[in-house]
Structure 1
Amino acid sequence: MDAPRPVTVRADFRGTIVALGGGGFSMSETGESAIDGALLQMARNRRQTVPRWESSPELPHVCFVPTASGDSRDYIGRFEAAFAGRAQTHVLSLFGQSPWDYQDPAMLEDMDLVYVGGGSTANLLALWRRHGVDEIMHDAAAGGTILAGISAGANCWFEASSTDSFGPLAPLHDGLGFLRGSVCPHFHGEPGREESFLRWIADGSLPAPGIAIDDHATVVYVDGEATSVMVESAEAGAFVVDREGMHEFSAEPLR
Structure 2
Amino acid sequence: MLREARVVVAAVRRVALLGGGFSTDEDGLLDDWLLDHARGDRPKVCFVPTASGDAPAYIDQFLRVFESRDCEPSVLPLFRRELDDEALRAFLLSQDVVYVGGGNTANLLAVWRAHGVDRILRDAYDHGTLLCGISAGANCWAEGSHTDSFGPLTFLRDGLGLLRGSVCPHYDSEPGRRTSYREAVAAGMLPSGWAVEDGVGALFVDGRLEEAVGTTPQARLYRVEADGDGGRGAGERALPCRVLGGSG
Superposed counterparts of 1:36-75, under 5 Å: 36-43=31-38, 46-47=39-40, 59-75=42-58
Q: Is residue 27 from structure 1 mapped to residue 24 from structure 2 by the alignment?
A: yes
Residue-by-residue CA offset, 1:62-87 (whole Å, 9 max, x unaligned): 10000000000000000001111322
1:204 matched to 2:204? The reply is no
Equivalent runs, 1:142-181 vs 2, <5 Å: 142-181=126-165
Identity of aligned residues (%): 48
How many angstroms apart in 2 are the aligned matches of 1:158 and 1:247? 19
- Cα distance between partner residues in 1 of 2:146 and 2:88: 27
| Equivalent residue, structure 1, for 2:241 | 251
Secondary structure in 1 aligned to 2:74?
Answer: strand
1:230 counterpart (213, 223, 231): 213
Structure 1's consecutive aligned runs of 4 or more residues displaced over 6 angstroms after TM superposition are none
The SS at the match of 1:90 is strand
Q: 2:232 is matched with which residue?
A: none
Tell which has more relative contact order, 1 or 2 (C-alpha 8 A, sep 6+). Answer: 1
TM-score of the pair, normalised by structure 2: 0.86
Q: Is the CA contact (8 Å cut-off) linking 1:95 and 1:102 kept in structure 2?
A: no
**SS of aligned partner of 1:24:** coil
Q: TM-score, normalization: structure 1?
A: 0.84
Could you tell me which runs of 5 or more consecutive residues in structure 1 were left unpaired when the two chains were aligned. 1-12, 48-56
- Asked if 2 retains the 8 angstrom alpha-carbon contact of 1:94 and 1:102, the reply is no
| Amino acid corresponding to residue 198 of structure 2 in structure 1 | D
Q: Deviations over 1:116-166 (max 9, x none)?
A: 000000000001111111111111122121111000000000111000001
What's the RMSD between the two structures over aligned residues? 1.6
Instruction: Give 1:105 deviation, angstroms.
Output: 3.0
Aligned 8 A contact 1:184 1:213 in 2: yes
Once the 2 structures are TM-superposed, how far is the Cα of residue 207 of structure 1 from its aligned partner?
A: 1.1
Structure 2's unaligned 5+ residue stretches are 1-10, 228-234
**1:40 CA displacement:** 1.2
How many residue pairs match? The answer is 224
